[in-house]
Amino acid sequence: MTSPPRLALWLVTLFSPDEAVPGDLLEEYATVEANKGRMSARRWFWRQSGRTIAHLALSQFLLAPWSTGLILVTAYATLWYTPWVSVTLAEGLLARYPVYEYISAPAFWWIYEFAFGTILLPLTIANIAARVARRREMIVTTALVFAVIAGSSCFWGWQIWLSWFYVDEWPYFFYGRQRTLRAAFSLTVLPFAVLVGGVIQRQIGSAAHHHLIS
């Protein structure tokens, strides 16, 4: 038997509470491959993986819908406050250390906002949310990623529209390009940081669960 698509198998493993579901899929994959060939088996595995993940995600949500929803709303609301938290921490850092003697103010704020506000803080928040949603890490993480993309798309779409089309003065023309770049970061890097935070916690929880069983 050849190996099934690794990405599909990994995704199923992330959403599965134990090793039984991936094991069953592998057994069925071997049967389909023996009867229909490798390419047909791989296509079947992708389709079946998608259905399995949807079923597992729904099952995880229905296991505790109210607490899952509360965790998701709390994490999403917390993410909206990350810019203010990031600025507050940066101001404390600037008050304590002579940062501007080593790096210019624009460079510092761009690097700080990207590394801390767009990556580290969202990753940490998603990790904590996944930790609280024990055994439901991936449904919370996935829903949070889609919520961040939807919210960021609406917010930055409105901001870019104002910057590019609402006024004609050159400072706003400049800010239109700046906001476009920030929107690109917000719509790509931030959701990816959220996803990584949840996946890390899922892997840690899965390793701890297997250790307890063994």
Query: 96 and 154: one domain?
Result: yes
The pLDDT value recorded for residue 163 is 61
Domain count of the chain?
2
Determine the pLDDT at residue 197.
Answer: 94
Residue 193 has pLDDT above 80, yes or no: yes
Shared domain check, 57 and 89? no
Q: Is residue 208 part of a domain?
A: yes
| Contact call for residues 139 and 68 (beta carbons, < 8 A) | yes
Domain finish residue from 62, 80, 110: 62
In a domain, 37, yes or no: yes
Q: Which tokens hold the place of 114?
A: 């990207």
Q: In this structure, are 13 and 114 located in the same domain? A: no
Read off the pLDDT of residues 37-75 as tens digits, 9 standing for 90 and up.
889 999 999 999 999 999 999 988 888 899 999 999 999
Report CA-CA distances (Å) from 86 to 31, 38, 70, 114: 53, 50, 24, 10
Q: In this structure, are 12 and 115 located in the same domain?
A: no
In a domain, 165, yes or no: yes
Q: Is residue 192 part of a domain?
A: yes
d(CA 1, CA 138): 30
Determine, yes or no, domain membership for 1.
Answer: no
- 13 & 95 share domain: no
Same domain, yes or no: 100 and 164: yes
Work out the percent of the chain whose per-residue pLDDT is above 90.
30
Q: Which domain holds residue 36?
A: 6-62
Examine the domain organization and report whether 57 and 76 are in the same domain.
no
Q: Per-residue pLDDT tens for 107-134?
A: 888 788 788 888 898 999 999 999 999 8
Residue 135 lies in a domain: yes
Q: Compare 199 and 1 and report the one with higher pLDDT.
A: 199
Q: Which of 17, 44, 62 is the last residue of a domain?
A: 62
pTM score of the predicted model? 0.79
CA angle 107–125–133, rounded 5-degree value: 165
**pLDDT score of 1:** 62
Q: What mean pLDDT comes out for the span 64-89?
A: 86
Both 137 and 208 in one domain: the answer is: yes
Q: Within 13 Å and on the Cβ side, how many CA atoms surround 130?
A: 29
pLDDT tens for 156-191 read 677 666 666 655 544 444 444 555 666 666 678 889
Q: Is the pLDDT of residue 2 over 80?
A: no
Give ∠ CA 45-48-52 in degrees, rounded to 5: 130
pLDDT, the chain, mean: 82
Q: What is the pLDDT of residue 81?
A: 80
Same domain membership, residue 194 and residue 133:
yes
Count of beta carbons in the 10 Å neighbourhood of residue 26: 15
Residue-level pLDDT at 177: 53
Instruction: Say which DSSP state 166 is in.
Output: I
Tell whether 38 and 111 lie within a shared domain. Answer: no
Residues 156 and 92 in one domain: yes
| Structure tokens given for 112 | 């700080």
Same domain, 110 and 46: no
